[in-house]
Amino acid sequence: MVKANKSKNNVKNLKTVSINNLSHFYGKNENKKQVLNDVNLNIDKGELVLLKGPSGCGKTTLLTLIGALRTCQSGDLTVLNNQLNGASRKTRQILRRSIGMIFQGHNLLRCLTAEQNVQMGADLIKGLTYLQRREIARNWLSAVGLEEHHKKLPNDLSGGQKQRVAIARALSANPKLLLADEPTSALDSVTGREIVSLLRKLAKEQNCSVLMVTHDPRITDMADRILNMEDGKIYSAHSELI
């Protein structure tokens, strides 16, 4: 499938995400509700895109579709050269290994130390020894400034520290795309900016695209592009329908 897409359109290789007329529905028959309405969107390599919009407008649905967590129902959705409309469960599972995810609630494994949590990401890289994977985890913890806290369990870390661990975990598997859902919502403004600044720096270093859903007005100046979403449609920052 990847091969076919490559020969079909080389332009797509420059895009991390390419969406054409994507629609998505929840429910059936009378209860059927459209949450995404002919969405069109491209995200370039290394680009940091902020997605804003009121609750229930379809941001999270779009994020989960791009993250290969849901089955695509209608339209074209190409992520890292993989067409996800009609993709098998196995294809989506393998693709997810190339996508880093940062969740609002951190979702760290409570029984693992900070280092082990990050290593769970690095463990997805094939061909490395245990020591190499641990080294990667330590380096990423060091990159997010938490090398001294590597033995701590999530419960012993502050909200900001947990989010840094989550970022390190997401980046440790060498993702080509990072999806973040409100990563700063539980943080104070200084920490929030620090986290996004760190995310931007590390993503740029790895040539990794970032799509971040946020309501936080304090970080908008750090994005390459800002998109608004309303009623299942995406608009540019200047309210133009894309």
Task: Give the interface size with another protein as a residue count (CB under 8 A).
Answer: 35
**Contact with another protein (CB under 8 A): which of 116, 161, 184, 214?**
116
Q: What are phi and psi of 200, to 5 degrees?
A: -65, -45
- Tokens representing 90? 């196995």
Residue 202: which residues within 8 A CB-CB, separation 6 or more?
A: 143, 144, 167, 171, 208
Q: Give buried/exposed letters for 57-82 (b at 16+ CB in 10 A, else e).
A: bbbbbbbebbbbeeebeebebbbbbb
Q: Is 18 in the site for another protein (CB under 8 A)?
A: no
111 binds another protein (CB under 8 A): yes
Q: Of the candidates 50, 38, 44, which has an alpha carbon nearest to the alpha carbon of residue 179?
A: 50
Asked if 222 interacts with another protein (CB under 8 A), we say no
In terms of CB distance, is 103 or 235 closer to another protein? 103
Q: Which stretch binds another protein (CB under 8 A): 8-16, 57-65, 195-203, 218-226?
A: 57-65
CB of 240 to another protein, least distance (A): 27
Among 3, 28, 33, 110, binds another protein (CB under 8 A): 110
Task: Using the rule CB under 8 A, give the single segment among 48-56, 62-70, 76-84, 197-205 that binds another protein.
Answer: 62-70
Q: Which is nearer to another protein, 95 or 136 (CB)?
A: 95
From the list 25-33, 44-52, 106-114, 194-202, the region that binds another protein by CB under 8 A is 106-114
Q: How far is the CB of 58 from another protein (least distance, A)?
A: 12
What is the β-pairing status of strands 74-79 and 33-44? unpaired
Which residues have a Cβ under 8 Å from the Cβ of 111 and sit 6 or more positions away?
153
* Angle between helix 114-122 and 130-143 (nearest 10): 120
Binding mask 131-150 for another protein (x = CB under 8 A): x-------------------
Q: Which of 60, 73, 91, 139 binds another protein (CB under 8 A)?
A: 60
Degrees to nearest 5, angle at CA 31 with 28 and 32:
55
Cα separation of 42 and 112, whole Å? 37
25 lies in the site for another protein, by CB under 8 A: no
Q: How many CB atoms lie within 10 A of CB 45?
A: 15
Smallest separation (angstroms) from another protein to the CB of 70 = 5
By CB under 8 A, name the binding residues for another protein: 60, 63-64, 67, 69-70, 93-99, 101, 103-105, 107, 109-112, 116, 119-121, 123-124, 128-131, 169, 173, 181
